[in-house]
Structure 1
Amino acid sequence: MSVSKRGLLTAGAAFATLMGLGFSTQGGIQASIANSQPHQQAPHLLAQKLQNLTIVFPSRADSTDLQTKADAVGAFLSKELGIQVTAQIGDDTAAVEALRANRADVAFLSSRPALKAEQLANSRLYLAEVRDNYSGKYTYDSVFVVSNNSPLKTRNSPKGTLEQLRGKKIAFTSPTSGSGFIFPVSELVKQGFVPNRDRLDGFFGQVSYGGNYSKALQAVLRGQAEVATVSEYALYSPYITPEEKSKLRVLYKISGVPAHGIAIDDDVPTADRAKIINALLKLNQPANNQLLRNLYNSTELVRVNHNSHLAPVRDALKRVGIEP
């Protein structure tokens, strides 16, 4: 464990250049890592007791003034652990690279970056976030959304509902978004409508990408697309207004998308890892809970098994023809 893991994380683009890796604003990976160096540990330091802790808090579309809020969590954890805790802000790319290079010990990550952190840094998720607007507590839905006046209707079977999309204009979130692309396309492959992610134009009349949740939904609101794919929580502020939400409805949903979680690097000693997890779980207590809610609107942290929590995204990636 490096005694000093200071220094602000540079913009994600710098790491993307170095690693051949990028992430969408929704937490998806834009490009696979090529010729990456294996995770390098510092053997001479592993026996030392953890003296400080660096946590990366990725920016998200629904987070504001994140550095101040992350610093407050860092101060709380510092008091609980009795060591200096430094909070750093960066995108998911920077978070994965910081774990790989031993510049950080802990990172809040969405599911696809968590898989990449496992691959490059042998980091694992130990906790997942719970939100009030998650249907499955620590999983949520990927949804196909249409306008209220759309002739498309929810049928009594997945195949019957999705068959109506043949020849239609669709706005995916981005080609790297889990709930806005990977899970919807995985479902289309599962139902036999497309063979993989590269053959979408054989089913849809037009395929476009909004770039983020808000823009994908705006494409439907403006009549530029007949259906959009997003996360279920994108149907609320700050992504769209209540008035805009009233003009939309969910046509079809895919449950079980893994919630964002907290990954810990493998070179954190086991005993220290347990202390970090227990300290983070104290954010669930009423006296401390507002610190957690301020970060990403999460209400609770829960323990998860890394492999089982991320299994749905592994399966979806495989089905659509993308390497994890």
Structure 2
Amino acid sequence: MMKRRSFMLGAATLPLMMSGAIAQGRDDLVLAFIPQENPEKLIGDIAIISEWLSDEIGIPVRGFVTSDHAAAVEALRNGDADISFMGALPYVLANEHVGAQIILQEVYRGEPSYTSRIFVRRDRGIKELADLKGKTIAFADPISESGYLYPLDEFAAAGLLERGADPSTFFDRLLFAGGYQQAIQAVASGLVDAAGASQYSELLLSPEQQQEVIWISETPSLPSHGVIARDGLDADLRERFVNAMLKLNDPDHQELLQHVYSPDGYIIADPGAYEPVRDLARAYGLLG
């Protein structure tokens, strides 16, 4: 059986996870990052951004890569993380179940929104969603909006699946790769016939691989990934963190954005933008 693990880094190396009881008495700030990219790359990124944030905020900042999206929500619930970088679906689940609040949104190409796509290899002869009947598909994570929920709903919108129905009635095999990069790499490598992932996932491929992969369906716009604070986080500390993160929009600090998933910048979050995601989660039985 494969064991889940989380990698802790920052101003100092921490144990793999801390209990919630210990977390409540900390004098530091702990960040959780979902593994939408290769976790080994994220480890180096987290070390750099944590050190910079420590200097800006004035207390030690540490971060870890969660095993998956669900673990990021659980870290906020337990107090093992104070702040989590996560997608829209994990956020609405964290908000619903543990009272977590969205404080910042990523901006890409001038907008705090993006889409998801169904990617295939050019040489597979797959032109439309119906061609994937009986084929294999990779998604990023079962509680990812752009890496599962929204691209899966494309098949419902096309009349190929009913919302909430077992996807195995359409696909021969469905797997969760663990992140955007892993899912789209599975297509580029020919391990699966298709993948559902963020529109920007292609950028995680080599130039040669990008020539081999195309997309055949695109979802409606959905709100960008956010930065989420656990319920009860000290208001002053939360404000200092937000102010520090907004400094990344300044030209002098923009090079640091590559160490937080490479957005163009951050804005103060609009919680109302996430209501369509909440509605779709209810339609699929993920929320009551």
Q: How many residues align?
A: 272
* Cα distance in 2 for residues equivalent to 1:72 and 1:223: 34
Question: C-alpha deviations, 1:183-207, integer Å up to 9, x for none?
Answer: 12223223433223433344x3623
For residue 260 of structure 2, give the secondary structure of its aligned residue in structure 1. helix
Q: Give the AA of the match of 1:144.
A: I
Gaps of 5+ in 2: 1-11
Gaps of 5+ in 1: 1-5, 16-36, 154-160
* Cα distance in 1 for residues equivalent to 2:35 and 2:81: 16
Q: Give the AA of the match of 2:60.
A: V
Question: C-alpha deviations, 1:198-230, integer Å up to 9, x for none?
Answer: 33344x362332624456446655666543322
Written as runs of structure 1 = structure 2, the 5 A alignment for 1:272-291 is: 272-291=237-256
* Cα distance in 2 for residues equivalent to 1:68 and 1:146: 31
Written as runs of structure 1 = structure 2, the 5 A alignment for 1:92-111 is: 92-111=69-88
For residue 143 of structure 1, give the secondary structure of its aligned residue in structure 2. strand
Q: Give the AA of the match of 1:123.
A: A
1:186–1:319 contact (8 Å) kept in structure 2: no
1:8 pairs with 2:14: yes
Question: C-alpha deviations, 1:126-177, integer Å up to 9, x for none?
Answer: 1122346xxx733222112233245544xxxxxxx54x33634141325614
Q: Give the AA of the match of 1:145.
A: F
* Cα distance in 2 for residues equivalent to 1:227 and 1:288: 37
Give TM-score scaled by structure 2 length: 0.76
Cα drift, residue 282 of structure 1: 0.8
* Cα distance in 1 for residues equivalent to 2:140 and 2:85: 21
CA distance 1:222–1:274, shift in 2 (3 Å): closer
1:207 equivalent among 155, 169, 173: 173
* Cα distance in 1 for residues equivalent to 2:75 and 2:190: 42
* Cα distance in 1 for residues equivalent to 2:48 and 2:190: 43
- Tell me what 2:286 maps to: 322
Report which of the two structures shows the higher radius of gyration computed on alpha carbons.
1
- Tell me what 1:27 maps to: none
Q: Give the AA of the match of 2:172.
A: Q
For residue 84 of structure 1, give the secondary structure of its aligned residue in structure 2. coil
* Cα distance in 1 for residues equivalent to 2:246 and 2:97: 26
Q: CA RMSD in A?
A: 3.6
2:167–2:174 contact (8 Å) kept in structure 1: no
Percent pairwise identity: 25
1:292 equivalent among 257, 264, 275: 257
Q: Give the AA of the match of 1:140.
A: Y
For residue 296 of structure 1, give the secondary structure of its aligned residue in structure 2. coil
